[in-house]
Amino acid sequence: MADSTKSAPATGAKTNYDSETPQRLIDFMSQGWADAPLRAGAHPQLARLQSRRDALSRSFPGCYLVVPAGQEHVRANDTNFRFRPASDFAYLMGTGEPGALLVLEPEGASHRSVLFVPEHNRGKADFFTDRVYRELWVGRHRGLDESQIFFGVDRCRPLQAIPDYLQELATSNHPVQVLRGHNRAIDSLLPHDEQDDDFAVHLSEMRLVKDEYEIAELRKACEITKRAFEDVIRLFPSVKSEREFEGAFWNRARIEANDVGYLTIAASGHNACTLHWNRNDGAVDRSALLLLDAGVECDSLYTADITRTMPIGGRYSQAQRAVYDIVYEAQRVAIDAVAPGNDFLEPNRRAMRVLAQGLIDLGVLNGTVEEALDPESQYYRRYTLHNVSHMLGLDVHDCAHARSENYRYGTLREGMVLTVEPGLYFQPDDATVPQELRGIGVRIEDDVLVTASGRENLSAILPSKADAVERWIADLTA
């Protein structure tokens, strides 16, 4: 980025590498632009999004509801990360631009929707001098009129009106509920209320059960993720670095979708024993396993979250296979426990029993399964570390603010989507583990929909049984 014309300051302020801008140039740049006709139709899921906003309205009568899309975040100095709207905003609006703000204003027994967005700025000096919001730098906005049509809101207003508007809200006679943590300026303008936490909880719990559109998007995310896994596998015969795996996966995510849903874990060899290994800078040994934990995020922002642990050389060794088969069986019984009416932790309990017995069979633990699982000791956790499930949707760890009684200690319901991901991790320096097992880490993860009669494994399109994985690799690397 040596050319100063390619860099965008995070604040829009003039930098020390900018040229002076004479008034005559400002006048010249502010005129002579043709008016573009309205080009935006309605969001393709507008009816669904409006029904969500209506449901939210019914739950908070008489309250102002303030939902920011979020801000761009600085990556380094004057360059930002690619913007992704806050998940709750996306749930209600479908998409959004940096700085956008949705407010549901109380109106009788319901609410009026007001959306603050960047306005068109051709014909204004900052059209070419402001590098954060202005269209010559960042591309054409929908503007006010197109946004009102696209999002189906009652009114659109420009971003510049937000400070004065929020100051008026702060002195309103109505309660104001704010979704906090996404826009520091908005948080600072409205005093914190303990009811804000309840607002975040409510939005998370709205998202616990997925509708048919959300399920279709998660299924699509799994399908693209399968193709990304196959891009990675094709590298097995020649790969030198974990970065090649990460790059191949990300390339597919950007070609067919929006991005990855989280930082890819491409952990080879003993790096697989580090649960969130995303440095992905290790050298690759073809006798080792690759633990690839990765998911594609669709343009709708719904993401897959899938893990496969695969032999880079094409065949599991005897020790690798022994560990893998235990994890596979633990996942099998856990997936069988995903059903409406079961509690959320039932898959975990069943998986842990299999893992504990497997640890005994491998000679890692002594005693009985009951002793290994004793709540007062839980020695098995040294080698498995995590539970097997979390909710999945717009976020890879979805519905994070839901109450424990409706999530961790809640009951599974039709339309919920959760991961099932048992694992065993034998650290390379763990002296309690037989030498031949040290450095082996295995996790298998699938995305499972709760149906009326049981479950659907949305990611079963990726092979997971050891023999099937070996055939998968052979077919792709032949």
Q: Alpha helices, DSSP H only, in 82-194?
A: 87-93, 126-129, 135-138, 143-151, 162-170, 184-189
List, for the chain, all residue ranges whose pLDDT scores fall below the cut of 70: 1-17, 123, 125, 131-133
Domains: count for the chain: 2
Same domain, 454 and 397: yes
pLDDT tens digits along 168-224:
998 888 999 999 999 999 999 998 888 899 999 999 999 999 999 999 999 999 999
Nearest to 458 by CA among 109, 220, 239, 147: 220
Same domain, 313 and 195: no
Q: Of 172, 206, 240, at which residue does a domain stop?
A: 206
Q: Of 187, 206, 225, at which residue does a domain stop?
A: 206
Q: How many CB atoms lie under 10 A from the CB of residue 139?
A: 7
Same domain, 262 and 281: yes
Residue 11 sits in a domain whose CATH number is 3.40.350.10
- Residue 474 amino acid letter: A
Q: Of 206, 237, 261, at which residue does a domain stop?
A: 206
pLDDT of residue 3: 37
Same domain, 181 and 244: no
Which pTM value belongs to this model? 0.94
pLDDT of residue 260: 98
Same domain, 240 and 198: no
- How far is it, in rounded angstroms, from Cα 64 to Cα 103? 7
Check if the beta carbon of residue 302 is closer than 8 Å to that of residue 281: no
Catalytic residue ranges = 78, 276, 293, 305, 386, 390, 397, 421, 425, 443, 445
For 374-423, give the DSSP string.
-TTT-TTHHHH-S-S--B-SSSSS--TTS-GGGTTTSB--TT-EEEE--E
pLDDT of residue 471: 98
* SS3 labels along 260-316: ECCCCEEEEHHHHHCCCCCCCCCECCCCCEEEEEECEECCCCCECCEEEEEECCCCC
Same domain, 65 and 196: yes
Residue 351 sits in a domain whose CATH number is 3.90.230.10
pLDDT of residue 10: 38
Q: Is 307 exposed, middle or buried (0-12, 13-18, 19+ CB in 10 A)?
A: buried
Nearest to 43 by CA among 151, 168, 138: 151
Same domain, 345 and 468: yes
pLDDT tens digits along 51-66:
999 999 999 999 999 9
* Local structure of 437: helix, strand or coil: helix
Same domain, 172 and 227: no
Same domain, 192 and 259: no
pLDDT of residue 2: 38
Same domain, 337 and 202: no
pLDDT of residue 450: 98
Look up residue 353 and give its two tokens. 């029993």
Domain range enclosing 123: 4-206
